[in-house]
Amino acid sequence: MSAPTLNAPTHNPTATDVIADRETLRLCTAGSVDDGKSTFVGRLLHDTKSVLADQLASVEQTSADRGFDGVDLSLLVDGLRAEREQGITIDVAYRYFATDKRTFILADTPGHVQYTRNTVTGMSTSQVVVLLVDARHGVVEQTVRHLTVAALLGVKTVILAVNKIDLVDYSEDVFRAIEADFTAKAAELGVDDAHVIPISALRGDNVVEPSTNMPWYPGPTVLEILENVTVHRGRAHDLDLRFPIQWVIREHASDYRGYAGRIEAGQVSVGDEVTLDYGRTTTVTGIDSADGPVRQAVAGDSVTLLLADDIDLVRGDLISGPSHPESVRRFHATVVGLTERAVKAGAPVKVRYGTSLVRGRVAAVDRVLDIDGVSDTEAPETFGLNDIAHISVEVAAELPVEDYAARGAVGNFLLIDQSAGTTLAAGLVGHRLR
């Protein structure tokens, strides 16, 4: 049996096709149930020649067996999604494809409202979010919910794909009304780079190839935006050093004492002066990595730091650059509810911040944000699954918290049930949606 081959493009690439030199863009798709997201993802994979030939043949045969007029591209992704939504594996599916310009990692999230927490997971590492709406229904509550989460997580580029435009006869009036509704909401939430594109995933209009059915739309296709949007390295590299200690490594025979962890922000070099709690300072005398000693390490690297002074540091302590954050016992935050159990003001919790795990409580639930356009709930006392709420948190031991920045490099935390150990909410310190 021959190995499966890609439904490849017609050009003959040079050796290795310089894939290693292409930028990688991480994106997330989200939307309501029945908005055609499965077909959209299938169309994106199919039209970028990212489908294995034997897989495409199987989809073509299944489409014919079901009497489908053409190829049902939703079959390329619906099998896994059906399992997730039936409760077998409720998760985010990651798909990979590439064009001549760049490679892509696509987080495909479930559409049902009860899986908003999974959408949070998919968006948390994405640089672009593609939201889909049905042209017949326009912007709905789930659209606003997903846009709110994107804004909360600091996503700057959001594409609204107005799908099934063929079912409203490619109407410009319908599209412009949806465009105005969405752009107003995006501006209200502070999304800087919002795009609205009329598409038909079923027919292929404006997904990868430009449409000939909408002469009134001269703009780019979805893929054109994905290929040309700036890939930000992330501010994590530009921030001051943040190195939460995960483990203290001691070798008594050699007096070795190292502090292992992952650099969450900034960079560090041998010889740098670093700051500890209470303004103490010391010097980095060595950096050990999995490949041996190195002179420098940057955000994302897992290393062990050696320090000049014998200081009593433990898991959860923070090694930073000159701007060491102030340790506090109370802070404000925005959280997304991740459990069906209502979380009440005064509820005892554990707070996971960096590598620290401390006891605390939800001191107050100040506000639950409006999603459906009715009104915010002031001082609601509780928040629950999928709610986005502004709260105050008190902790039993001081934590060096700081405002959320750099897409999660610092300022993010979890609230955990003290008895059951389940995660109640994911939060961003000090972050407020206007």
Stronger pLDDT, 111 or 176, i.e. the higher one: 176
- Report which residue type is found at 70: G
Architecture of the structural domain at 15-228: 3-Layer(aba) Sandwich (3.40)
Please state the pTM of the whole predicted model. Answer: 0.75
Q: Tell me, what DSSP letter sits at residue 240?
A: P
**What pLDDT is stored for residue 192 in this prediction?**
84
**What pLDDT is stored for residue 8 in this prediction?**
36
Fold agreement (15-228, 236-320): no
The CATH T-level fold of domain 328-429 is Elongation Factor Tu (Ef-tu); domain 3 (2.40.30)
Alpha-carbon Rg for the chain in angstroms: 24
Q: What average pLDDT does the structure give for the chain?
A: 83
Percent of residues, the chain, with pLDDT higher than 90: 49
Q: Which residues, including other chains, have CB under 8 Å from residue 327's CB and lie 6 or more apart?
A: 277, 398, 399, 400, 401
Q: What is the mean pLDDT of residues 360-376?
A: 77
Spatial separation of the C-alpha atoms in residues 129 and 26, rounded to whole Å:
9
What ranges do the domains of the chain cover? 15-228, 236-320, 328-429
Q: Which residues, including other chains, have CB under 8 Å from residue 180's CB and lie 6 or more apart?
A: none
Instruction: Give pLDDT tens digits for 19-31.
Output: 446 788 999 998 8
Instruction: List the CATH code of the domain at 236-320.
Output: 2.40.30.10
Residues 325-353, buried b or exposed e (16+ Cβ, 10 A)? beeeeebbbbbbbbbeebbebebebbbbb
Q: What is the mean pLDDT of residues 296-320?
A: 93
Please, what sign has the CA dihedral across residues 427, 428, 430, 433?
Answer: negative
- Report which residue type is found at 434: R
- In this predicted structure, the answer to whether residue 340 has a pLDDT above a threshold of 50 is yes
Spatial separation of the C-alpha atoms in residues 293 and 306, rounded to whole Å:
11
Spatial separation of the C-alpha atoms in residues 246 and 317, rounded to whole Å:
8
Q: Looking up tokens 């997730």, which residue turns up?
A: 84
Q: Six-digit token pair at 291?
A: 């490949």
Instruction: Give pLDDT tens digits for 224-263.
Output: 999 999 876 556 777 899 999 999 999 877 789 999 999 9
Stronger pLDDT, 198 or 56, i.e. the higher one: 198
Judge contact between 47 and 204, C-beta under 8 A: yes
Stronger pLDDT, 17 or 311, i.e. the higher one: 311
**Of 112-126, 206-220, 325-339, which one has max mean pLDDT?**
206-220
Spatial separation of the C-alpha atoms in residues 181 and 174, rounded to whole Å:
11
Stretch (H or E) spanning 187 = helix 172-189
Choose the weakest-confidence range: 77-81, 143-147, 186-190: 77-81
**What pLDDT is stored for residue 62 in this prediction?**
66
- Report which residue type is found at 323: S
